[in-house]
Amino acid sequence: MSALSNPRILKRFIIYLAMLTFVMFGVWSFWGTFVETPAGDFEVREGDIKLSSGEFEAAVADFDRALAVQPNHRGALLGKAAALIQLQRYDAAEKVLTHAIEFLKNNLDPDDPTGRGALAAAYGNRGIVHDTQGRYEQALSDYIDSLKIDAEAVEGPGFIDRLLYHDDTPSSIRDRAEYLYKQLQLPEEKRLLRLPLKDELQRMHKP
């Protein structure tokens, strides 16, 4: 059976997506600090700090402040969605991610690799929302779109998995997409699709 049916591997899969979001915020923060500081970037940096430390409600508030001064700030949209996912407010997270996807699709510069990474991450995170809610076909569709846009940005870095979890089996969006695809080809009564993450997330972020 695929490693993606193992709850420990699935847990690492979600952790990786959160880490990807943090890395992207770090790039945006560095750029904003040393090159330019557009409206909303300060609030996004504050939200990133709170998101990284598990203060999810406060992070949402910071990202909302960023969006108040700079509507459609992609860092604020993705950050708010990430915080909402951690708070298990999946409907709200899906709404934010759908808005981010539509905005980025309509406004992305072809020569903007960071923007492509943001769009890929938005699709990947919305796929996670669908996955946790049992909407597996929609999850698979979003995972595939994420990989088509920027597979490198959302692939699981094996060295991080080994460093943090002492495991030689890195997880990634590609792994989960392949697993879902194979399971969806089976008769419904033989499928093993559930993503058992709610209890894991609650334990993961308890102080």
Per-residue pLDDT at 19 exceeds 80? no
Q: Please indicate, yes or no, if residue 204 is contained in any of the structural domains.
A: no
Structural domain including 33 reads 3-180
The CATH number that applies at residue 81 is 1.25.40.10
Average the pLDDT over 130-141 and give the result: 93
Q: Please indicate, yes or no, if residue 205 is contained in any of the structural domains.
A: no
Q: Please indicate, yes or no, if residue 187 is contained in any of the structural domains.
A: no
Q: Please indicate, yes or no, if residue 55 is contained in any of the structural domains.
A: yes
Query: CA neighbours within 13 Å on the CB side: how many for 54?
Result: 8
- Tens digit of each residue's pLDDT (9 = 90 or more) over 20-63: 565 565 555 554 544 456 778 889 999 999 998 989 999 999 99
Average the pLDDT over 145-150 and give the result: 91
Whole-number average pLDDT of the chain: 78
Q: Please indicate, yes or no, if residue 194 is contained in any of the structural domains.
A: no
Total domain count, the chain: 1
**Mean pLDDT lowest among 49-53, 66-70, 75-79, 156-160:** 156-160
Q: Please indicate, yes or no, if residue 20 is contained in any of the structural domains.
A: yes
- State pTM to two decimals: 0.72
Measured CA to CA in angstroms, residue 183 lies from 13, 33, 35, 129 at distances of 18, 46, 47, 18
Of residues 78, 85, 15, the one with CA closest to residue 47: 78
CB-based contacts of 174: which residues, under 8 Å, 6+ apart? 143, 147, 151, 155, 156
